[in-house]
Structure 1
Amino acid sequence: MKRLSHTKWLSLFLILALASQALWAGAAFAADSISKLVLNKNEISLQVGDTATLSATAIFVSGTTENATVKTDWNSGTPEVASVYAGVVTAKKEGKATITATYMGQTEVVTVTVSKKVKSLTSDVKSLDLRLNSTQQLTITAYYEDGTSENVSTLADYTVAASTIATVTNGLVRGQNPGSGTITVKYMNQSLTLDVDVEVVRRLDADKSDVSLLKNGTSKVKLMATYPDGTTSDVASKAVWTSDKPDVADVINGTITGYSVGKATLTASYGTKTTTIRVDVDSTVKLELDKTSILLKKNGTGQLKLTATYADGSTSDISDRAEWSSSDEDVVQVTKGKLLGTDIGEATVFAKYGDRTVAASIDVEVPHRLVVSADSLTLQADANASLDLYATYADGTTATVTDSATWSVDHEDIAMVTKGKVKAFKSGIATITASYGGKTTTTRVEVDVPTSVKLSQKAVNMQSGDSANVTLTAYFKDRSAGVDVTDKATWTSSDEKIAEASKGAITGVATGAATITAEYGTRKAVLQVSVGELKSLTVSEEKLVLKKGASAKLTAEALYTDATKSDVTSDVIWTSSNTKAVTVDQGVVKAIASGTATITAQLDSKTVTIPVDVDMASDLSASVMNIVMDLNETRTIVLTATDASGAARTVTGDAEWKTSNASILSVSKGVVTPVARGKAAVTATYGGKSISIPVEIGVIDSLKASKTFFITKSGDQTQLTVTATMSDGTTKDVTNTATWKVAAYKIGSIENGLFTATGSGKTTITVSFGGKTVAIPVEVDTLKYLKTDVVKLELKEGQTANVSAIATYSDGSEDDVTKPALWTTSNIMIADVKDGVIKATGKGTARISVTFANMRTTVQVTVTK
């Protein structure tokens, strides 16, 4: 009985204790209820197979917070696209999913976008060689991990290292200015780099160096551009021609015209090269050789014929009467136009008649051009390489002369060369020279030369007697990691009375500033050392106003806390905010071009700035307000700049000239040359001012397309043509030269008027030419009806049925569109569908929808057990 009573009391005690604890916990819970649930992300973009971690933080009414990630209930609305467990989201397949996080009655959602994972990125070309203003379309292909691939040319991001060289729009590369650079292509997690050359011309040669003309006479000249790949092209009509005496002679599109008696020099510029032609205009007589250049073999012979043309148009062979001479008779001898090659070399043969002289270039087994297989080599010590040498003669033939040439190197301790075979010895730079037939070419050899070197510190502040250690790291093009070259580098101090340096050890000697230079393999890095605390830094000038080409010297003085002063001009870091206008080196400021810049002098933490103005104009005016012209004409604009003092001067040749549309016209030093019909503007910039002159070159009156509207189907092609009516009333088929565009690229594409339908819908084709535009509406897959062969189905669970979709087009034709149509289900738990195959998955009623060409119809499906 007592035992039973004890048990009852114990049970009663436990019940009271638990009740008390529950009451206490309930009170605590009420006092600390949740205020809101905060997730670290609201949106996530992943590729298939990637994961992302979500965290959940509970914020309570009391102000306390808790990491509730593990306690939170995580759910995915579409687990087949993205699943979630304890906050870790895993991307399963392409699509969108919504992640729901719930804790203590609070719910937050995260939107997840899953795309296919890019495995690699490729381009159809590894490098581009463009002509000026020409284009080339890149084809960028992304390969996904699921084995599929996609043309992403219009989706990728493009970056041009030298933005003035070329531009890229949706993979279309356009050459803007001559030069070389790189294009970086990036798409999702992958990237690649392509080299691009624009109008890189190796040589520019005119087929005539001297031309004699009668007054009002003409002469056609060829201008041959030689490109790095060895190809040549006559660019006489594309080059920019100038004449030092345009009233005597000038040239348009390669045709020289003599206007008045006298002599003139014509200059042709193309790409980055120039060449000149001397022109002699005579009203009474013209001398002309039948050849301007001849290639002879040693001891071989040749013949030149000299013809005189008189004012009445008559001509005469005066080879026997002219005075002939050779610039080097050891190479070529000449008698009455008959040539004899006596030794290998080059010479010029002159024919003089009266006060007129003409000349011809004679090569005796001399190469016209010498090309080495590599302009530069990058080698490691003890490595080998081979160079090949090619000689091109005046007759266009090419031969390998590697073994016959004379090879030399300027630093034999760095590298050695024998018949083109190169052996590298130690770090440094050497130049290999190959000579043959009076021609030479060079190759730069870099042996263990780093692309850059970097100090572990940029500046050191110390007191007299203190020391510090810095390291020098070298980075090489062919090595992924940097190399410590502290002990191998050469260390120098700008002032050893202030600071000393040896193998990275810096020692402060006396108060002041010094610059420590560490050099390794032609690369240098500088360290600014300040011994004693710097109080202030001053520069000798507060502002500079310079003319183009002028220079000025700035000095810098440092004041230290111990009251000592020091000239630190060579120790401060000098920089210019605009190096195109102003450069600075060791305090020497040079005015390069008109503009403004700020010079900055920095020593330790002290900085001083000096504004600089170069040839800035207060007003700019042009000789004409607008230009109206036609093809085959030129106009000259004279530009006048007025400075702040009111003084005016002609700056036509100094200004920067640009055209708003290089395909319409070109401009150089104020000379406007038409290229095609249309409207454009010429802009001149000088001294911070710009002026624009509108130019109109005969535009067309109207443009007419062969169709004003048409209907087609996906996969079909339709050829369109366009005719331009010119201002003189004539017509011209411009289908292949006009610009064609499709408003909706997903519906179709067009090239030279050939439209290819690729998708359903309505869009507009626009064609532009000569400033005129015509719009052509087009409809693809325009349907009249969309029907299925059944409208109701009764299936048992697990059964399948095939349903066909028939499209009736507006022209009355029909197609089975079961495969290309889009099939969807209202409830995948009752019925699923793919390409018209319906599968019963559970009891109930579902609606199957089929959509094609913006039309939709449904099939009612009833599933029983």
Structure 2
Amino acid sequence: MKRFSQSKWLLTVIIFVLASQAILAGSAFAADAISKLVLNKNELSLQVGDTANLSATAIYVSGTTENATVKTDWNSGSADVASVYAGVITAKKEGKAVITATYLGQTEVVTVTVSKKVKSLTTDKQSLDLRLNATDQVTITAYYEDGTSENVTSKADYTVDASSIATVTNGLVKGQNPGSATITVTYMNQSLALDVDVEVVRRLDAEKSSVSLLLKGTTSVKLMATYPDGSVDDVSSKAVWTTDQPTIADALKGTITGYSVGKATLTASYGTKSTTIVVDVDSTLKLELDKQSILLKKNGTGSLKLTATYANGTTADISDRATWTSSKEDIVQVTKGQLNGIGIGEATVSAKYGDKVVTANVDVEVPRRLVVDTDLVTLKTGDSQQLVLRATYADGTTSNVSDSAAWSVDDEDIAFVSKGNITTYKAGIAKVTATYGGKSTVTQVEVDVPTLIKASQKIVNMQIGDSANITVTASFKDGRQVDVTDKADWTTSGEDIAEVRSGAITGIDTGAATLTATYGTRKAVIQVSVGVLKSLTISSEKLVLKKGASATLTAEAIYTDDTKKDVTTDVIWTSSNLKSVTVNQGVVKAIAAGESTLTAQLDNKTVTIPVQVDMASDLTANVTSLTFDLNETRLIQITATDANEASRLVTTEADWKSSNTSIATVSKGLVTPVARGKVTITATYGGKSISIPVEIGVIDSLTASKSYFVTKSGVQTQLKLTATLADGTSKDVTDSAVWKVMSYKLGTVEKGLFTATASGKTTITGSFGGKTIAIPVEIDALKYLKTDVVKVTLKEGATANVAALATYTDGSEEDVTKPSLWTTSNIMIADVKDGIIKATGKGTARISVTFGSMRTTVQVTVTK
């Protein structure tokens, strides 16, 4: 009855839904009429077993659209060929079916062609190798899943990845151009690939790898292609020919032509292969000149003959065809082997033909040796002498070339030369050079050259405006002593310091200069000092002053001529530290504490003086260290000793610093503690510093009133902590110390008062001032634990009371029946609680009693 009611309810719901849809559809139809129904496809080709999705779109009069695929009524005219459901078509068997789609009075049809399922495709050829313009037929066979097969050559689709190389129509492949291509064959859902080679050669060989041609000559070379089938063909006329040197040689259809002398590389390409041929145009094995060297007279002529030897052994005079050059056109000129001597000298003549070059040396009246009749000429001023120059040539002949040579002298103030005739002007040494035909020779000329010249003074010291006279005497080889003061050349290294004229010296400005008197090749040197300082001295070597004090310094100069002068106002005074010391014309003023270096400078002399203002050479404190506790203060006093050994108290003037202000502060020597610890107090004065170590409440040791104790649970024990400071004093720090119990379950401690809360062993620690002390404690330390009986015999259901008695290490005893822990080895025989044993079953059990660190047992026997 229940099942029937549920079915009836479900049927009612379905009817309601369908009715609602009908009402809605009617409403839509009434509100917006359909214009047409559009399907996504009107024809389908499927294989057996394939499926395809069709969609239907409703277009309304208003222009709106709706996907009506699910709402459309789909029907197949041949459901055994192709069935349809909600637009999904399933191919059943080979044949044709018409699918009808109807929605709101609009109907559309789809023609479905179902063919057998192709399992695989095969071709009768795996690859093709075609000659140019040749064809070959390929047969394509399809194998279906039902086991049948079919020739589908005309039905298949063909594509070629390189249509310029091969084409295909219904399986007929034609070779269009040399190269390789891949044909893809597609039928139904299967495809295969077929490789095609057109006019592809395996080898390409030239008849010759190198060719020699005469200029404008030609020759033909065969180009043999070897195909995959082993056949060989001459493709010279079909190949593509290129050259790397088109101006030298080129080829057309295998015919090579030489255009100019040189080498070229020809490349022949056919299909995917190529080969090269080296072409040598007008190549000679050897070039020879009839002479390796030739002698010519200036303005004379000569000739060279160039002979070429070819690979076939023949020779030819090619003097008029070669390219001739001269390394020095101003000496030799050459045209087609004909030489002209233009100027005296040597040159190299080169003949080039093709890539070969030969050379010859040409000598145009070049002397092999050039000799002057004397290497040294000694003359007096105003004298003259003729030199004779002779040239020796390669053929052994000699000639006087004095008039033809080029003559020169390195110092025309001393001598002059013309066509070998020397004329002297003044004392000195000169070199006469004669040049002819690229050769040179040198003759030394000495004019009035003394062996020595000597000045009357080597050192002259003078002041500005003073003058002095120097005499220079020359000594000659013949013993003569001649005053050459007026004849010598005088120079000075510093015209602005000292000037000289014919030995007369005048001081111009302060400084040092070197005077040089030159006569002939000899020199005399005089050192001159004009107003030059020898030394500069200051009245004091150092100054030690107090702030606000002053001192006066004087400066004295001693010159090289030993004159002395007070130069206090002339000196340039400077201070290295103007904040501490100033100086003006020798007056020194102390401004502030510090150090400075005074510098006095005059000309090139400098003197320095150290100055100290309120500076300490030593700094001492009244204490070497301090040790005290909190709430106390200490005063440190500082004494400074200066460079003059004078001492004074500078406590309030010094700069004070604490290394750690969180432990102690300092002001004008007064140290105030802030916290316990160690700190360093530093005082600085006059460039010196001194440090005093300070200890504030630093603990040297920590002791406790008990080093170990034993107590009982619930008992309180007061501990006391005493600290010994670094200075030896002691104090009670019990309340200030930090107390801890290692095991919080066993007790608590506060200000040294320990309360035991449980049995066991633990350690109490007290910490103060960086020190810690540990006190071990035992709680409820037992010596013995026993029961009033050790064996109990009970009947099943009976009970017995057993008492536990503890004896402590201090000798005291206590009934610990209640606090003890009671356990049984077998609850099925005997149970126990607080010492009350109850027999629960026949047998033997062991009752254990535990208290503190002790345990004991009671043997229980239960009978019926």
TM-score normalised per structure 1: 0.30
Question: Highest CA radius of gyration, 1 or 2?
Answer: 2
TM-score normalised per structure 2: 0.30
